Structure 1
Amino acid sequence: MNTQHTATACPFALDPAASDIHGEAARLRALGPAARVELPGGVQAWSVADPALAKQLLTDARVSKDAHRHWPAYIDGEIPETWPLRIWVDVRNALTAYGDEHTRLRRLIGTAFGPRRVRALAPAIEEITAELLDALAPDEEGVTDLRAGFAWLLPLRVVNTLLGVPDVMHDAFRAAVGSLFDTGASEEEAVANAQAVYGLLTELVAVKRETPGDDVTSVLIEARDDETGTRLSEQELLDSLLLLIGAGHETTVNLLDHAVVNLLTHPGQLALVREGRAGWADVIEETLRHQAPVATILPRFAVEDIPLPESGVTIRRGEMIVVNFAAIGRDPGVHGADADRFDIVRPGRREHLSFGHGTHYCLGAELARLEARIALPALFERFPDLALAVPAEELRPLESFISNGHRTLPVRTAGAVRGWPRRSRSAAARR
């Protein structure tokens, strides 16, 4: 495969198990704005850890997300069918499209996360939040896995509502969705995971063709682009649904996960919220900066040679580019010497790229923020004495350098407020 580049040093091998995302991010940042890295399977890429360079490349017409057009190693058949990350380049949707094709696909699916549709979900999010909090139950040792029982389920049920996934398919979707981000999966596991996801998406489309409803899947089946007169092909339809699941789920799960951990390990920060000296929006933005829910996003490709004079390297045509949002969020040049510190009143808390930048800005960004604005205050009001059940350093990270979260989030929920009201939080959610 094509590994030509101007750097002479050996590439930095990313840890597929992601045992220390921020330590790795700091080491990459020290190598310069862009450093050569090796992904699973020996595939090489440029990892961008500098905020200014990331913004430049994320809006540069010389950078594409379409492997089918702009990754010679993929086009020439040098990337094995069993490459563990292959699903990230095989898909044909707005996430991987380039130029006019991206515009067309983004326009066709744009209504899925339009402001009106997102705002209309607030009552459903409130109800789902209340139901999940009601259902939280500790084990015999008084411990509850808050990730499995709340942070994971809330966005999944919301995206299922958005897409119109039948109740009987919820458990299957729950099992399949998380596998997409497992960068430590074997080749066989990655292939099986992809087959399971596409089988579910195919089943969902068949159900919605038979019994359409007021949901995004039904809308996309019938969607037609007014400017080009085209519709989504069958592959584009399945892959667009896959994109919406990813955009509407994984980011929110990790946002909730890290917000809870940060507040429980920084009681002074939680006190600022409870005393009204900071808001939940501040918690959300600082969490996004401090713990980017997507640590590294892939892939992009150079359409032509891109010289980077300040770093003294050139990204050659056809080379892969990945963006390290975990490193960017803690850049000392932007956030100062204390960039690693969680501080919800930090002046630069909104200065992050955790939802991307430019034309590929995350479709689900506002939905994620809305869910967090509803879920976090509800959780801490219901369980005012919420506490981690293990020391924070014992929390184990996901085996993924893409998805930044924890495998489990064991907490103690003693002291729940009895008779906690299911009052409407729509006004608060809009703030």
Structure 2
Amino acid sequence: MDTQKRTAAAPAGAGCPFRLDLLATDLHDENESLRALGPAPTVELPGGVLARSVTDLGLARRLMRDPRVSKDPRKHWPVYASGELPEQWPFRIWVDIRNALASEGEEHARLRQLIAPAFTPRRVRQLQPDIEILVEKLLNELAGLPAGPADLRRHLAWVFPLQVVNLVLSVPSDMEDRFRDLVGANMSTHFTAAEATANGKAYVDLLRELVEVKRQVPGDDITTQLVQQRDTDVITEQELIYSLMLLIGAGHETTMNALDHAIVNLLTHPEQLALVRGGHAPWDAVIDETLRRDAPVANILLRFAVEHIDDPQTGTAIKQGEAIIINVAAAGRDPQANPDPAAFDITRVPAGRHIAFGHGVHYCLGAELARLELRIALDRLFRRFPAMKLAVPRSALRPQPSFISNGHLEIPVFLGREIEAMT
């Protein structure tokens, strides 16, 4: 058993805690090791902080809608409430945040309602023409790249989702790259504690800069609306900043990784791509199977047991005050819910079960917008470059160094433009 000193108030549970690979060098292999230890084994995060990693899909769903589970560390995580959590804990930003993602009850309802108008079905439909224009522009830029492998991560998946977020938030164009860099930095888990703290501060500072821009030059966008709510004391300055962080981070990183994995899955499973091209399966089937097999957010930090919880279906006991990680990537590959879970099969009946958009009251407000983005981007990409193929074996694709964000560092492809030109 590891003898490193652990945070005293974090209960260890049974057995030796499993120390997570924060670089996620083999995410799914690690998750199978966790699954072998049970539905919710104890894992160790940096600083000796312990948590339960929930790998069972059914248990994850039950906990995500259980009123005995909270996302508020101030009230329900003894390590945090007592001040034991180090100020430079690498994941501190994930528990310091004050927005709809990290609140419960009336507070959650109030904060969620403030951002909900940006994601109504009518508003999402209105965005479709602009999203189509964005995709066509990016594909034209791809087609204009020099001959040789093109990185779809850099030139499409990394760029496109934040441009869509900016349609909703009206982020000034000169801030786009900085937001992309800082969202990625705060999702990565390979930084030192000091670097992670600095990244979090830089992210907050940039959000404050955005708020001041909107105060000076208001517009018809959700950012301006939130700023105006702050200026009439409907929300606090902290809630404003972290609500914007939620909108930008969730809107960019998750859609980027979903697009990334969908492209790779289709290029490495040509028989599945043929089903879509032949009209035998819809793009939504590709999207859901990708979300199940390769969850764009691998682990969701953190929830907390308000009281002792016994789960009779799995025999799992979680002590009051224990931290809980919803292991979305492992849950999507739960063999009890999804037979042959490592296979990419868009014809699954029933469709692949997953919690990539969350579950219960915290279900993602932007889910339909994300689906729209993915449908448009995938359809247009594979129509534009029908002969596209990976430039390296799938095994050579490098994962992001993060156990939170699940994607690749690059996706080198041959676009097959010479075939396109001949046809």
Common fold by TM > 0.5: yes
- After superposition, residues 125-164 of structure 1 pair within 5 angstroms as 125-136=131-142, 142-164=148-170
What SS does the corresponding residue of 1:193 show, helix, strand or coil? helix
| Equivalent position amino acid for 1:342 in 2 | F
Distance 1:313 1:284, change over 3 A: closer
1:365 matched to which residue of 2? 367
User: In structure 1, what is the Cα distance between the partners aligned to 2:283 and 2:313?
Assistant: 39
Amino acid in the other structure paired with 2:11: Q
After TM superposition, the structure 1 = structure 2 runs for residues 92-111 of structure 1, keeping only pairs within 5 Å, are 92-111=98-117
The aligned runs of 1:179-218 (5 Å cut-off) are 179-218=185-224
Out of 375, 386, 389, the residue aligned to residue 387 of structure 1 is 389
CA deviations on 1:124-173 (whole Å, 9 max, x unpaired) are 11111011111126876601110011011000111122111111212222
C-alpha distance in 2 between matches for 1:193 and 1:5: 30
The letter for the 2-side match of 1:413 is L
Matched, 1:284 2:317: no
**Deviates further, 150-159 or 342-351:** 342-351
Aligned-partner SS, 1:156? helix
Gap regions ≥5 residues in structure 1: 421-431
In structure 1, the partner of 2:4 is: none
Q: Output the CA distance in 2 between the equivalents of 1:386 and 1:282.
A: 21
Partner of 2:236: 233
Aligned counterparts of 2:147 and 2:132: Cα–Cα separation in 1: 29
Aligned length: 414
TM-score calculated relative to the size of structure 1:
0.92
Which moved further from structure 2: 406-415 or 215-224? Answer: 215-224
In structure 2, what is the equivalent of residue 88 of structure 1?
94
Residue number among 25, 28, 53 corresponding to 2:59 in the alignment = 53
TM-score, normalised by the number of residues in structure 2: 0.94
Q: Distance between the aligned counterparts of 2:350 and 2:89, measured in 1?
A: 39
SS in 2 for 1:397: coil
Could you tell me how far apart the structure 2 residues matched to 1:6 and 1:395 are?
36
RMSD: 1.8
Contact 2:208 2:241 in 1 (8 A): yes
SS at match of 2:177: helix
Matches within 5 A, 1:8-407: 9-136=15-142, 142-223=148-229, 231-336=234-339, 338-407=340-409
Shift of 1:223: 3.5
CA gap 1:40/1:139 in 2 versus in 1, 3 angstroms = farther
Residue aligned with 2:101, SS = coil
Aligned to 1:423: none
> Within 1, Cα distance between the matches of 2:65 and 2:384?
43
Q: 1:172 to 1:6 in 2, by over 3 A?
A: closer
Q: Secondary structure at the match of 1:277?
A: coil
User: Contact (CA 8 Å) 2:286, 2:346: kept in 1 or not?
Assistant: yes
Measure, in 2, the Cα distance between the counterparts of 1:5 and 1:17.
Answer: 23
Identity of aligned residues (%): 57
Distance 2:422 2:213 in 1: 39
Which amino acid is 1:59 matched to? Answer: R
Q: Is the 8 A contact 1:65 1:300 kept in 2?
A: yes
Question: Are the counterparts in 2 of residues 5 and 315 from structure 1 also a CA contact under 8 Å?
Answer: no
**CA offsets, 1:259-308, max 9 Å, x none?**
11001001111111111111111111111111111111110001111123
Deviation at 1:310, TM superposition (A): 4.6
Equivalent residue for 1:4? 11
**Paired residues of 1:289 and 1:349 also in contact (CA < 8 A):** no
Q: Do the aligned partners of 2:338 and 2:352 also contact (CA within 8 Å) in 1?
A: no
Distance 2:183 2:143 in 1: 24
Report the Cα distance in structure 2 between the residues aligned to 1:270 and 1:309, rounded to whole angstroms. 41
- Asked if structure 2 preserves the Cα contact closer than 8 Å seen for 1:5 and 1:316, the reply is no
State the distance in 2 between where 1:47 and 1:405 align.
20
Once residues 279 and 100 of structure 1 are traced to their aligned partners in structure 2, the CA distance between those partners, rounded to angstroms, is: 39
CA separation in 2, counterparts of 1:182 and 1:146?
20
**Deviations for 1:357-411, whole angstroms, at most 9, x for unmatched residues?**
0001112211111100100010011111111111000001011111111011111
The answer for unaligned runs of 5 or more in structure 2 is 1-6
How far apart are 1:232 and its partner, in Å?
A: 1.4
Q: Distance in 1 between matches of 2:412 and 2:141?
A: 15
